[in-house]
Amino acid sequence: MTSWNPLILTLILFVPTAGAILITLLPRQSNAIRWSALLVSLVTFALSLHLPAHFVYGQQGFQFESDRVWIANPLIHYHVGVDGLSMWLIVLTTFLAPIGVLASWKTIGERKKEFYALFLLQQTAMIGVFIALDLMLYYAFWEMSLVPMALLIGMFGRKNGRAAAIKFFVYTFVPSALLLVAMIWLYAHTGTFDFVVLRQMRLGGALNFSATAGMFLSLAFLLAFAVKVPIFPLHGWLADALSEAPTAMAMVLAGKLGLYSILRFSFGLFPDESRRVAPILIALGVIGILYGALLAWVQTDLKRLASYSTLSHLGFCVLGIFSFTIASTDGGVYQILNHGISAGALFVLLGILYERFGTYEISDYGGLAARLPFFSAMMVGTALSLIGLPALNGFVGEFLVLSGSFGVHTYWTAAATLGVILSAVYMLSMLQRVLYGEPSTRVLALGNGTPNGDLTLREQTAMWPLLILIVLMGVLSPYWMRAINALYGSQPAQVQAVNHTMKAGE
Amino acid sequence: MSWTHILPELILTIGGILVMLTESFLKPRSSRFSVALLACLSALAAMGASVWQLHAPAGSAYWGAIYTDAYSSFFHVLIAAILLCSLLVSADYFRGRMHRGELYALMLFGATGMMLMTSASSLLLVFIGLEISSISTYILTGFRKDTATGPEAALKYFLLGSFATAFFLYGVALAFGATGTDNIYTIGSVLVLNPSPLAVVSLALMLIGLGLKISAAPFHVWTPDVYEGAPSPVTGFMSTGPKAAAFAVLLKILLVAYPTLHPTWSVLLWILAAISMTVGNLGALLQNSVKRMLAYSSIAHAGYILVAFAAGSAEGVAAASFYLVSYAAMNIGAFTILSYAARYEERAASFSDFAGLARRSPFIAATFTLFLLSLIGIPFTGGFFGKFYVFTAALHSGLVWLTVIGLLNSGLAAFYYLRVIATMYMRSPDEGTALTLKPMSFGTATVLVFAAAATLFLGIVPSHVLDAAQSAAASLTASPNAATTAPAAAVNPAP
């Protein structure tokens, strides 16, 4: 099977594109559209499992590499490869795809063809971002990921999809322009876009520029990524886009693309500069945690609540990765994965609610637990994972982040700990208002013309893998940490061991 | 054999005359298929001749008045392709109304002028080419006498265009006064030996004249009205063809005739580029008409190309040439959509006319989206690599701030292009005054598919065209008698 290694990433990358092309050729009303979308995303997921199965732990550098010249002048390579960081992000992406298809099964009635074709294109773009090791290739996928996302938000949004889509696009596109300037500047000074080469030059001291230029470059990189995460105060697009986005898009919209890019490119190419701005980012991350949590507390709309809780949770990732200790980085990266799964589960559950009741208003609900016991149990599990209950995945990430950063940024970490409490406050009060108490009229009317009962087989199929992972990642974290730890081998300058950190996951 | 150096021009002229002759035998109401076919065939033949020229050795003819090389042939091929597309779209657009052979003849003559501009090495011949192409486009702009806007636009274009050519001619005269020659290549070598203050004035005057033609701000005021008033296929034609020719001439004049003044014109172009990008984009943001929006956006695109000019290096020339090709592909595509959607009635004026187009015609909406994404500069489209090369060249020449301005501008531009996409995909057809779409003719469909394929091709495998652009640039900067190319390190007036 090893002969597959150089090819596998390309396959994972383009199978969704092929699927998208196939879907555009299918007849408009055909049922085959969603089945083929499901099939394609399952195949992609199966292919991506090749990565953890054949990943060589402890080996430095990138694996499954493939490097060809794409354009001779300027020299742009089709250079792809993964390390411990991107491997799990790819698997996470491909894992969420079939769940996204299942979650959209019923809600997308009209214009299925557009939806699933764009959905699969979006897959390609996201996977491309994670595997590209050439800055231009990376940028191409980075920008490409915007288009299907914006179109999907706009076409399948709730009320203000169009405005949210344009806001999302412009918010991300404008800083990307600066990113492009920085990338071309690097190329103009080095003659290469290759990340691996550039990093070696940078670490080996072969790539030197003035302190000012370095700062401007690193800020251009960081700004583009920070908007995509988003990091407070650049989160203006988040609540609108997330609350408008169809479930399948809300699951993947925030977090991992931006955070991954910070870890890979900002830290990889500008280690010193990143360290210099770290205190500011720590502060912004913690403000984001608290601000997001407080805003989530006062929301009356379930999806907006989930959006602000996303902002809050991503703050932990920011705190973790910018503390530059082994434990906190482990925790930050782990938290990216956790967030993908737990927030994904939350959005699927909210979508299920919306399918039945057609509303996200918290006040329209109440007493669901009696009518939808399965659903409610899953909702509670997901919420507990987001709160960070021990033995569930969220705890591992948050604990590592907080313990790792406590030694370096004591006060900010102490403030961030408040965020954990706040997240329990808003999540539990949401659960209380939605699941318990007196059943509302809508809940009582359940079954009159709406899908009546508890979770259907399709919904269960979508939810169980997520819940199982929530538990597994809580109790078996070393399995994932192994690969994440390999990061330090490949990026030694990023994380300096701070004396009193614990070795994560061991 | 001197005539081989003007073969494409010769073919187009003969084609134009034949079209006129054939036209005079046709009854007013009869089909114009024959003249359209004749025009298309001559455009094809001219394209073939240009491709042949591209591979033929460089050389001058007619006592040095013409000089064909990789550079001029590159633009000949481009102009011939633009001409062919415009002819096909016009044949569809004008069918049944005002469908006259003159239309085709004028387009052929216009393209002749443009080609002559790019291969002329005598400034007087450049002027003649400029006039031939301008007069044809004036008439084409007002070709629809049945509207009020058409003749108005034509008159505006004519008045301002005449100013432009007058400025240009004055510049030519002063250049002759300063150097005793009107040959671009000789001017360069004379100025190296005898710098003259007159040269600066002549350069400035020519810059104003050509600046009006390429609609660079602050000489852009005519553009929105004229582009809006002209029939859509003509707008597509004149926003790409004459522009490409004027850019080609401007590059040639700057790099070959005035390399000694590089510090001066680099600063001037820096300013022109920054103003054009900003004015174009801000203007486009405020428009409610798609056609007018595209007119303003063409000002902005002229600004992007001027960024490559300001770089002033061989790399900049290649970047500008590549940009002109990709711009031609996407702009012809966009105006073809407008011509098709609007038909003769010139509907599709406002954004709301496009509401829900994606539901009724997914193919049209998807191709239009492709062109708009390319105009934004999204990767995997020609527009992306156009911008990429331009800004790489600028950064290589140290124009950091101009690059930042340019790319921020392209971020701004995303907003208004996106509005069109959003309208097509995210509004329902009943919200606007929905367009009635008729079946697409073979010609229009061919042009659309061709433009879309070219846009994607330039975005995925740009190397072929870039190689051609680079050899064109190399040929320009290494022309006989030409002074050495401009220094790579340009002056950066920004802080």
Cα-Cα-Cα-Cα dihedral sign, residues A13, A19, A25, A29: negative
| pLDDT score of B343 | 65
Per-residue pLDDT band for B485 (boundaries 50, 70, 90) equals very low
Q: Which of A165, A175, A177 lies closest to B422 in CB terms?
A: A165
A272-296: average pLDDT: 90
- A70, A124, A147, best to mutate vs chain B, most B CBs in 10 Å: A147
pLDDT at residue A495, rounded to an integer: 45
The 10s digit of each residue's pLDDT in A425-474 is: 999 999 888 888 777 777 777 654 455 577 788 888 888 999 999 998 88
pLDDT at B480 over 60: no
Chain A: nearest CA to B464, how far in angstroms? 10
pLDDT in tens, A421-438: 999 999 999 988 888 877
User: What pLDDT score does B286 carry?
Assistant: 87
Q: Which of B459, B472, B466, B374 is nearest to A72 (CA)?
A: B466
What gap in Å lies between CA B207 and CA B205, rounded to an integer?
Answer: 5
Contact B187, B181 (CB under 8 A): yes
d(CA A254, CA A241): 10
**Tokens standing for A314?**
């991503």
ipTM: 0.81
Measured CA to CA, the distance from residue B383 to residue B323 in angstroms comes to: 7
The minimum CA-CA distance between A114 and chain B, rounded to whole Å, is: 9
Tokens 């007196």 correspond to A438
Cβ neighbours for B412, distance < 8 A, ≥ 6 positions apart: A174, B281, B282, B285
d(CA A162, CA A240): 10
Instruction: With CB atoms and an 8 Å threshold, state whether B408 touches A151.
Output: no
Under an 8 A CB cutoff, do B426 and A161 touch? Answer: yes
- State whether A165 and B426 contact (CB < 8 Å): yes
Average pLDDT, chain A: 84
Do B51 and B8 form a contact (C-beta atoms < 8 A)? Answer: no
pLDDT at A498 > cutoff 60: no
SS3 at position A361: strand
Residue A107 neighbours by CB distance under 10 Å? 15
- Determine, for residues B425 and A154 on separate chains, whether the beta-carbon distance falls below 8 Å: yes
Domain segments of chain A as ranges: 1-269, 277-506
Q: Is a pLDDT exceeding 80 seen at residue A488?
A: no
- What is the pLDDT confidence band of residue B453, given thresholds at 50, 70 and 90? very high
Of the residues B357, B378, B410, B425, the best mutation for testing chain A's interface (the one with the most A CB atoms within 10 Å of its CB) is B425
Q: What is the pLDDT, as a whole number, of residue B434?
A: 58
Distance CA A27, CA A418 (A): 54
Burial of B67 (0-12, 13-18, 19+ CB in 10 A): buried
pLDDT higher than threshold 90 for residue A502: no
| pLDDT computed for residue B438 by the predictor | 73
Can you tell me the distance from the alpha carbon of A206 to that of B139, in angstroms, rounded to the nearest whole number? 60
- Looking at this protein, which amino acid is placed at residue B179? T
Interface of A with B in 128-187 (CB under 8 A): 136, 139-141, 143-144, 146-147, 150-151, 154-155, 157, 161-162, 165-166, 169-170, 173-178, 180-181, 184-185, 187
What is the per-residue pLDDT for A499?
32
Output the pLDDT for position A255. 79
pLDDT tens digits, B307-357: 998 888 888 899 999 999 999 999 999 999 888 887 656 655 677 778 878
Which residues in chain B have Cβ-Cβ distances shorter than 8 Å to A144?
A: 378-380
Q: What is the mean pLDDT of residues A392-410?
A: 88
CA dist B298 to B224, B294, B304, Å? 9, 6, 10
B122 secondary structure, DSSP code: B
Query: Is residue B86 a contact partner of residue B236, using CB atoms and an 8 Å limit?
Result: yes
Contact criterion met (CB below 8 Å) for A417 and A290: no
Instruction: Output DSSP code: residue A245.
Output: S
Residues 49-88 of A with CB under 8 A from B: 71-74
Going from the C-alpha of A128 to that of each of A56, A279, A499, the distances in angstroms are: 21, 31, 37
Q: How far is CA A476 from the centre of its chain?
A: 21
* Rounded average pLDDT over B221-240: 90
Cβ count within 10 A of residue B274: 22
pLDDT digits 0-9 by tens, B41-75 = 999 999 999 999 888 888 888 888 898 888 999 99
Residue B491 reports pLDDT greater than 50: no
pLDDT in tens, A6-51: 888 888 999 999 999 998 888 877 788 888 899 999 999 999 988 8
β pairing state of A63-71 and A76-82: antiparallel
Out of A108-112, A324-328, B191-195, least confident range: A108-112
Q: In whole angstroms, give the CA distance from residue B415 to residue B301.
A: 15
Q: Say how far apart CA B145 and CA B135 lie, in whole Å.
A: 17
Question: Which of A240-254, A273-287, B156-170, B327-341 is the least confident region?
Answer: A240-254
Angle at B399 between CA B395 and CA B403, to 5 degrees: 75
Inform me whether the pLDDT recorded for A500 exceeds 60: no
**3-state SS, residue A70:** strand
The pair of structure tokens assigned to A297 is 């507390």
Sign of the torsion formed by the C-alpha atoms of A185, A186, A187 and A189: positive
pLDDT of residue A2: 54
**Secondary structure class of B95 (helix, strand, coil):** coil
Q: How far apart are CA A70 and CA A78, in angstroms?
A: 5
Distance CA(B342)–CA(B335), nearest Å, equals 10
Contacts of A151 in chain B (CB under 8 A): 421, 425-426
Residues of A in contact with B403 (CB under 8 A): 181, 184
Q: Do B391 and A173 touch (CB under 8 A)?
A: no
Distances (CA, A) of B108 to B35, B162, B325: 12, 21, 20
End-to-end Cα separation, chain A, in angstroms: 30
Cβ within 8 Å, pair B392-A74:
yes
CA angle B408, B409, B415 (to 5 degrees): 100
Q: What is the pLDDT of residue B116?
A: 93
